[in-house]
Amino acid sequence: MRVVDRILIRDLLVRGIIGVRDDERTRPQDILINVELRTDTRAAGASDDLADTVDYGALSKRIVALAETAGYGLVERLAEEIARLCLADERVEGATVRVEKPRALRYGRSVGVEIERSRG
């Protein structure tokens, strides 16, 4: 039986340059990121050893560094790059990535994209 567990990174709030309008290219804005990693956590559950699982702390730091420095025009591009970071760990079978720009619309809470990527 195939086991797929989930590791969640929720509501990671970073500031970075993202957007295509001139005013979006000159000042950092809030970017809200959520990630769901599909992986097998049984080894870590048995061993209680960080080496046996995806280090979500280290991954979060890489995601923050990317979002703060990349300067992409589209949330779609940032989501793709975050998914690539996630899948770089061979233990990750798939990832769901949501990237949102809070207050990007005057009358909306946020706008964003959610993508699913898997190995293969």
CATH code of the domain covering residue 108: 3.30.1130.10
Catalytic residues: 101
Whole-model pTM?
Answer: 0.94
User: Among candidates 87, 95, 115, 112, which has minimal Cα distance to 30?
Assistant: 112
Whole-angstrom Cα distance, residue 117 to residue 108? 27
Q: Does residue 3 surpass a pLDDT of 80?
A: no
What percent of the chain is predicted at pLDDT more than 90?
89
pLDDT digits (tens, 9 = 90+) for 12-26: 999 999 999 998 999
Instruction: Name the domain count of the chain.
Output: 1
CA distances from 90 to 8, 71, 84, 85 (A): 17, 27, 11, 11
What percent of the chain is predicted at pLDDT more than 70?
98
Whole-angstrom Cα distance, residue 44 to residue 74? 36
pLDDT digits (tens, 9 = 90+) for 50-77: 999 999 999 999 999 999 999 999 999 9
Q: Does residue 102 surpass a pLDDT of 70?
A: yes
Neighbours of 80 (CB within 10 A): 17
Its domain, for residue 90, covers 5-118
